[in-house]
Chains A and B, each alone.
Chain A
């Protein structure tokens, strides 16, 4: 057979399939995970009781499965199809924790790395962003040293997130992965104090700032300078390190409606505070905190004043005695600017301590070398995390992340940039930024046939009265039975509807996009594939985009015949020739006219 020249309409249809086929589209959960963890895959492995394989899949992206299984803000769950359809998203984070508890083992860890390339990188901050960057760079052969002013590992995970949510031994265990990769740590070393930024810059080929946003924000309202007013960061840090807080009284007001506020409130109970109040501009239905945190806070007895804005801290002899609040009318003006307005309705609560969980600021460690913007965040090129200074990059909360897994993704992005920079490669050339960020999947599929609403399973919590007395884990996770049941709710979101209809396409690839790639790119197609199509059209019928697979397979046969001297290129089709000859021969044909 000569080289087949496929006609233009076939090639156009192939292009259309490459563009529109959703066979390779990520599930919603995966596209929403900043680290692109293959959720569907590991959840289904859990369902098959292949826990070690599940852990391996998680560890392809996440070095701290047990940590994230407990404290990840799980953006994946936000877009879970069961959430979108029924408001019952899969408990993805809890399943991750279950897998880690069942099967995480150092033996599964991938500690392979490229040979040393002689270049060194200093990372400021041992939190998730710094650690992730260290891992990626170390695996590429860089000599990486992490500096942290704290003596403990984990950054905000360690001194922001309370121990009852994240036991410290888990952080330490999961961070041993970095030791195995040969990452060096200089703990208890503060940049700008024990060692200058300038020196770091001179001693290393590149520097990454990933020191987080540890500086508390005090709202300058009347009375804010009174004794007994604290920032959430300082409050949580001291409690994290000592399981106590020297300045706390018996009645605490936490200002704020996010997860940090919930952490402050719930931690207060555990250090012996008798009465814990909360207030926030956002009303109860619009609290930024996660549903779980709000739920647990309520159960633990936090007294909510959501929708009540603090207007004045009342004090006596400069010691806090109470707080005055007003009922919130609106938070933003018509232009979207922060400009709260209030009803003429006041509430006063007697407290001796006020904790402000109202945002966190980034401190400068560069000695003014780098420009900072709102909240102290460093000015970076968002696509590459490069600063105005060569080979200085920023990641994590220091440049804009809000949650752990986002910080990790920024750490990974910074590592890619540092590697490019130190290898003399342009920071952007040929770089697929989609692989580094969340993205919109193009998956648009009907719910699988017979899908019914199944309730989300919740993890087992220690009894409230018991758990609020200590910092031991409050959440006991899933039992095996629960984990199996929960994982079975996964809808395994994927298209490939045609692949469930067509038998033959499965012999040639995973989905039409893959199968048609050679045709679209090089004008090539497997001849047996084209001649294995029954022409039934079921593929197109089930395809949400009604893509023309049959049209290509059947249509291409004309071009094969043209390239093969007018004959089918399939040896078995010789029989048809004989068949046709007989079917048209006088012996087997007739024509008759009856009647008048």
Chain B
């Protein structure tokens, strides 16, 4: 179903867990931009509880999600925008609030001024790793291609893209359960991509692909960060260092708060 934007409604944004842990800059700038677009806008940062569900703690999950729903209700969110594919699935299943992916919203509201064609002179050629949790969500996947086109980046599609995408190795809470298998899956995912320069739209996927030996950028790195050229190094793997991750998560939260002060 094609989505439409209705600015009379209150939109809400939740960056999720992995994105705030990876890039406070991306969280803050995205929040600020959305806030500038939507007259009625709220934001929430919390976990959706998916990890509890993934390990089988369904009752705990219900409890946790209820807390998040309560937060959303308190700040009056009528339509939710999420930047995490697991959040998207979780919300679709557990929340009464209609939820869209940031990647399907951006093509509708456009990128901030000055972004168009900013990378048209870049010589890098990316490929895209689609998140496996939303393998059947074509509008979401098309949104990522739209952003790349809009920015002016070149990319090639790999055989295992869209609905045929393969897991990055992070899913199902396998990393702490069976790290050897997770490592193999990460490597195999990288082997099945047609470029060593990979665009992802999940920070956990980004970390997995780095561990699998590829260079990977989050789509928001490309939106908010400098133009990337062939041969550039990808941003370091923050998520593999818990202290840095939590520090970032704190910075993201503080940044969101700050964005709402102005």
Contacts and interface: CB of A to CB of B under 8 A. Distances in A.
A572 B10 CA distance: 40
Contact of A538 (B51, B58, B132): B132
B67 interface: yes
B40 to A, nearest CB: 5
Interface in A77-127: none
Nearest to B250: A588
Contacts of A531: 55, 172-174, 177-178
B46 A533 contact: no
Nearest to B135: A537
Interface residues of B, number: 61
Nearest to A579: B51
B236 interface: no
A572 B38 contact: no
B39 interface: yes
A583 B17 contact: yes
Among B41, B74, B167, the one with the most A-chain Cβ atoms within 10 Å of its Cβ is: B167
Contact of A588 (B75, B249, B260): B249
Interface in B164-214: 164, 166-167, 169-179, 181-182, 184-185, 188
B52 interface: yes
Contacts of A528: 177-178
Contacts of B253: 587-590
A528 B171 CA distance: 15
A445 interface: no
B176 A570 contact: yes
Contact of A559 (B56, B64, B170): B56
Interface string B60-88: 10001001000110111000000000000
A536 B132 contact: yes
A295 interface: no
A572 B177 contact: yes
Given A541-B164, A554-B172, A580-B51, A570 B177 contact: yes
B172 A534 contact: yes
B181 A507 contact: yes
A208 to B, nearest CB: 54
B93 interface: no
B219 interface: no
Contact of B184 (A503, A576, A580): A503
A589 B164 CA distance: 35
Among A531, A532, A541, A594, the one with the most B-chain Cβ atoms within 10 Å of its Cβ is: A594
Contacts of A554: 54, 172
Contact of A570 (B46, B47, B55, B59): B55
Contacts of A42: none
Interface string A196-237: 000000000000000000000000000000000000000000
A591 B177 contact: no
B43 interface: yes
Contacts of B43: 590-592, 594
A557 B55 contact: yes
Interface stretch (A180-188, A305-313, A474-482, A560-568): A560-568
Among B41, B57, B58, the one with the most A-chain Cβ atoms within 10 Å of its Cβ is: B57
B44 interface: yes
Interface string B28-40: 0000000100111
A558 interface: yes
A504 interface: yes
A577 to B, nearest CB: 9
Nearest to B178: A532
Contacts of B17: 583
Nearest to B262: A594
Given A531-B174, A594-B41, A503 B185 contact: yes
Contacts of B59: 566
A575 B55 CA distance: 12
Contacts of B164: 541
A557 B54 CA distance: 8
A246 interface: no
A519 B108 CA distance: 48
16 contacts: A534-B172, A535-B133, A535-B171, A553-B172, A560-B56, A567-B57, A583-B47, A587-B250, A589-B45, A589-B71, A589-B253, A590-B44, A592-B43, A593-B75, A594-B40, A594-B42
Given A536-B132, A561-B55, A594-B42, 7 more contacts: A576-B51, A576-B176, A580-B52, A582-B246, A589-B45, A592-B260, A593-B260
Interface of A: 501, 503-504, 507, 528, 531-538, 541, 553-554, 556-562, 566-568, 570, 572-573, 575-576, 579-580, 582-584, 587-596
